[in-house]
Amino acid sequence: MGRKLIIAVGLAGVVGALGDSFITYSEYATQLYLDPHGVSCAKCHGLYGEGKVLERYAVLKKGKNGEVKVVWKEVKAPNIQYVPLSKLKKKLYNPGTYSYMPSYRILSDTEIYALYYYLNQIAPEKWKKLKARLFNPSQIGR
């Protein structure tokens, strides 16, 4: 009896959830990219995976004549549009000891595939459209 009740309640929950807040796969993939269990990919890689400079720092170097030169270096989160699935999974599970990037070992294969889908299908298309709008002079004033 107890188990039947739990199944009934469980089913009602699933149906209720679908009815109340049904989202498409694209919306799900986008949401996951924006918030994959807490630390957003977008914060570092940009909203469309287009890449971003995270930090600039100065390094002092000695020139040929002994003069001190300031050289600016950058820490970049690269463009990750069209990243292959195997590379994505490897990076998420093991970003490397000295990487700025956190590891995301809690992500399941299903979730990693959704991120892959976002980065290969949704993000590049949206990025292309946005760039066309931003950099097309004929669109000014419309």
Residues that bind ligand HEC (CB under 6 A): 36, 39, 41, 43-45, 75, 77-78, 80, 83, 87-88, 91-92, 95-96, 99-102, 104, 115
Question: Residue 100: enclosing H or E segment and its boundaries?
Answer: none
128: tokens are 């292309």
57: tokens are 């720092």
Scan for tokens 């924006």, then name that residue.
34
- Tell the smallest beta-carbon distance from residue 134 to ligand HEC (Å): 24
In terms of CB distance, is 88 or 122 closer to ligand HEC? Answer: 88
- Tell the smallest beta-carbon distance from residue 40 to ligand HEC (Å): 6
In terms of CB distance, is 29 or 77 closer to ligand HEC? Answer: 77
| Alpha helix (H) residue ranges in the chain | 2-20, 25-34, 41-45, 85-93, 109-117, 123-135
